[in-house]
Amino acid sequence: MNAPVVIVGTGLAGYNLAREFRKLDSETPLLLITADDGRSYSKPMLSTGFGKNKDADGLSMAEPGAMAEQLKAEVRTHTRISGIDPGHKRLWIGEEAVFYRDLILAWGAETVRVPIEGDAADCVFPINDLEDYARFRAAAAGKRRVLLLGAGLIGCEFANDLSLGGYEVQLVAPCEQVMPTLLHPAAAAA
């Protein structure tokens, strides 16, 4: 059997790459590996769900099984690679060696984990995928106020979305203004 093309990550980049690859080659085995549940969705939609009253299922565009069928691929969900050996063209998932023809790392960004201690430490919800969004949405149900850490573009988008969803939002950040790298101070103060 031929070694597969392996794509690590099933976000927009990973799934779009797989689609484009399949346009050129419908026969080479294709394996997608993801740490999350593998649903296809548009990440920017995570900061619009409350205003549109959409839960994680409502933001999902396709289940991993449907994506596997569409792409003629194997999709391994909730799976993390533990090592890469480029000299032997293999990666490791725990003790399992997976050989590859080509390897593409499309795993995207990680959220910044702020070290917080005390009674509210379990009330901090980084949101980086649909599963994170679902956990936060469940925790926010019945609440009125939300404290949001981060005043960059994404933080401001989430603040707007939560406000549209009926929440009172406080935005906290270690900077003098919102979106400091994008807005002139006068525009940020408006």
Q: What is the pLDDT of residue 48?
A: 94
Q: Record the pTM.
A: 0.87
Q: What is the pLDDT of residue 120?
A: 84
- Give the model confidence (pLDDT) of 60-71 as tens digits: 999 999 999 999
- Domain coordinates in residue numbering, the chain: 5-105, 121-189
Query: What Å distances lie between residue 98 and 35, 39, 91, 146, 185, CA to CA?
Result: 16, 23, 5, 43, 51
- Give the model confidence (pLDDT) of 109-119 as tens digits: 888 888 888 88
- Give the model confidence (pLDDT) of 1-32 as tens digits: 799 999 999 999 999 999 999 999 999 999 99
pLDDT tier at 104, thresholds 50, 70, 90:
very high
Report the mean per-residue pLDDT for the chain.
Answer: 95
Q: Do domains 5-105 and 121-189 have the same CATH topology?
A: yes
For residues 81 and 107, what is the distance between their CA atoms, to the nearest angstrom? 11
Query: What Å distances lie between residue 182 and 122, 178, 179, CA to CA?
Result: 32, 9, 5
Give me the architecture of the 121-189 domain, per CATH: 3-Layer(bba) Sandwich (3.50)
Domain 5-105 homologous superfamily, CATH: FAD/NAD(P)-binding domain (3.50.50.60)
Q: What is the pLDDT of residue 116?
A: 86
Q: What is the pLDDT of residue 47?
A: 95
- Give the model confidence (pLDDT) of 132-171 as tens digits: 999 999 999 999 999 999 999 999 999 999 999 999 999 9
Q: What is the pLDDT of residue 71?
A: 98
